[in-house]
Amino acid sequence: MAKKLIKRFMPDAHKVRSHKHLKFFGRLLHDPNLWHLNRRSSSGAMAVGLFVAFVPLPLHILTAAALAILLRVNLPITLTVIWINNPFTIVPIFYFAYKLGALLLGVEPQAMIFEPTWDWFTTQLGDVWQPLLLGSLLLSAGSAAAGYYAVLGLWRLSVVRQWERRKMRGRR
């Protein structure tokens, strides 16, 4: 049931292969493992997508696609999951990551006003990069592990329910 639902919302492989930012991967996108929807590829895709989503890097799509190709996990799921980090959620996510990193490093969090300017990046980022990076990596690793095991568990639950339904139909 869940597999059918996911397949219904997955983009067409041809659309993804012809995406302007992914075209340079070329023939690598023709690997059938990138398009399979099974327990291994789905859980791996969730882990890769969540890991990349919470790392403070530019070009999330390219990074996630490269990791999905390298690890041979479902590419559309990976590219969908990274959108957890979007223009509406990026500030709260990285603020939480910064606070977490500052807490673990034992430094006092600084009050700052974020401005998406080059001047802010050259002056303010030097003061906050260590707590931000530590918090982001911990958030990335934790969410990737949680996502991986959640998908494995939900997949297993779905399979067990299907078996039970078949047994009930067989008894009738």
Of the candidates 60, 100, 98, 66, the one whose C-alpha atom is nearest the C-alpha of residue 81 is 60
pLDDT tens per residue across span 114-128: 666 777 667 777 777
Tokens of 44: 């791996």
Q: What is the structure's pLDDT at 115? A: 66
pLDDT tens per residue across span 27-66: 777 777 788 888 899 999 999 999 999 998 888 888 998 9
Q: For residue 124, give its domain range.
A: 2-171
Tokens of 150: 């959640």
**Locate tokens 């859980």: which residue?**
43
Q: What is the structure's pLDDT at 130? A: 87
Q: Measured between alpha carbons, how far is 158 from 26 in angstroms, rounded to an integer?
A: 35
Crossing angle for the helix pair 125-171 and 90-105, to the nearest 10 degrees = 110
Of the candidates 13, 53, 19, the one whose C-alpha atom is nearest the C-alpha of residue 33 is 13
Which comes out higher in pLDDT, residue 167 or 64?
Answer: 64
Domain count, the chain: 1
Residue 102 CA: distances (Å) to CA of 63, 137, 154: 26, 13, 34
Beta strand spans in 63-166 (E): none
Res. 7 pLDDT band, cuts 50 70 90: low
Instruction: Please state the pTM of the whole predicted model.
Output: 0.80
Question: Mean pLDDT, to the nearest integer, of 1-8?
Answer: 61
Q: Which helix (H) or strand (E) holds 125?
A: helix 125-171
The three-state DSSP-derived secondary structure of 39-81 is: HHHHHHHHHHHHHHHCCCCCCHHHHHHHHHHHHCCCHHHHHHH
Out of 110-114, 127-131, 159-163, the most confident range is 159-163
Question: Is residue 70 predicted with pLDDT exceeding 60?
Answer: yes
Tokens of 21: 């930012």
